[in-house]
């Protein structure tokens, strides 16, 4: 079926008259409703809003409510007036004191590139450790009853007897000569009178042409 000028005029007239596409298709004959809509769209005719709206509930007629007799008016009893609670105002926060601007820290660089500390950054020296208590070792059997290094004081003789490192090395331990660190016998070994210069023996000359002895 072809669209002739006569059929197009009929379509345009009925479309502008507000008839539906089904009615136009039935009047023209040999065309479907969709063909009428497509032709109207190609002719640029004004589109029509769809009569069916999505999710539109069907209109349901509800019966009119029966008239209800008015209830008697009962005046309510007056409620006792309660005093309003007193709300205390919250204290205002204290204003923060103005902060003083921080002064820049002056630093100096020492030899080698190290940064010296300012006087405010120096920390106090650590407290010294408490003195340790010396516990005397258990004396060996060779010096049992003899004066060891831990037994020395200002009232006994400090003359060493033996060689350090030997098991029987000890000190004299007798009473000291007043004013000296040794006893009377060991003071005679420690302190010797000097001879006059004329009676002294010259030291031997040093080998390989050493200095001359005067």
pLDDT tens-digit map of 113-147: 677 766 667 677 788 888 877 665 666 677 778 88
Q: How far apart are CA 42 and CA 12, in angstroms?
A: 12
Mean pLDDT score, 190-208: 76
Report pLDDT for 119: 66
Q: Residue 43 gets which letter from DSSP?
A: T
Listed in sequence order, the residues at least 6 apart from 23 whose beta carbon sits closer than 8 Å to its beta carbon are 14
pLDDT at 180: 92
Instruction: Supply the mean pLDDT for the chain.
Output: 74
Higher pLDDT, 15 or 76: 15
Question: ∠ CA(202), CA(205), CA(207), 5° rounding?
Answer: 165
**Residue ranges per domain, the chain?**
5-42, 143-195
Q: What is the pLDDT of residue 154?
A: 92
- 185 compared with 213, residue with greater pLDDT: 185
- 160-161/170-171 β-pairing: antiparallel
Tokens representing 25 are 């298709």
Structure tokens at 213: 């002895």
Q: What is the pLDDT of residue 41?
A: 83
Residue 171 has pLDDT above 60, yes or no: yes
Residue 205 has pLDDT above 60, yes or no: yes
Q: What local confidence, expressed as pLDDT, does residue 148 receive?
A: 87
The arithmetic mean of pLDDT across residues 108-116, rounded, is 69
Task: Give dist(CA 162, CA 167) in Å, integer.
Answer: 9
Average pLDDT on 16-40 reads: 83
**Could you tell me what percent of the chain has a pLDDT over 70?**
60
pLDDT band at 181 (very low <50, low <70, confident <90, very high): very high
Q: Determine the average pLDDT of the residues in 26-35.
A: 83
- The whole-angstrom separation of Cα 41 and Cα 18 is 15
Angle (CA) 181-185-190 rounded to 5° is: 55
Per-residue pLDDT of 37-81, as tens digits, reads 888 888 877 776 655 555 555 544 455 555 665 656 555 566 666
Average pLDDT of the segment spanning 91-108: 66
- pTM of the predicted structure, to 2 decimals: 0.30
Q: What is the pLDDT of residue 156?
A: 94
Residue 35 and residue 3 in contact, taking contact as beta carbons nearer than 8 Å: no
């Amino acid at each position: 079926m072809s669209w002739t000028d006569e059929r197009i005029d009929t379509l345009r007239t009925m479309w502008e008259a507000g008839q539906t596409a089904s009615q136009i298709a039935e009047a023209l004959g040999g065309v479907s409703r969709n063909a009428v809509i497509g032709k109207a769209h190609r002719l640029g005719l004004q589109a029509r809003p769809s009569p069916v709206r999505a999710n539109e509930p069907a209109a349901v007629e509800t019966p009119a409510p029966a008239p209800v007799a008015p209830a008697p008016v009962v005046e309510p009893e007056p409620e006792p007036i309660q005093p309003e609670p007193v709300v205390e105002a919250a204290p205002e926060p204290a204003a923060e004191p103005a902060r003083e601007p921080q002064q820049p820290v002056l630093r100096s660089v020492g030899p080698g590139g190290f940064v010296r500390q300012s006087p405010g950054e120096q920390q106090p020296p650590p407290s010294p450790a408490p003195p340790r208590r010396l516990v005397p070792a258990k004396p060996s059997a060779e010096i049992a009853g003899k004066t060891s290094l831990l037994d020395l004081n200002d009232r006994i003789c400090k003359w060493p007897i033996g060689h350090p490192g030997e098991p029987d090395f000890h000190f004299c331990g007798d009473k000291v000569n007043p004013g000296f660190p040794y006893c009377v016998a060991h003071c005679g070994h420690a302190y010797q009178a000097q001879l006059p210069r004329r009676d002294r023996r010259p030291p031997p000359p040093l080998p390989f042409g050493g200095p001359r002895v005067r």
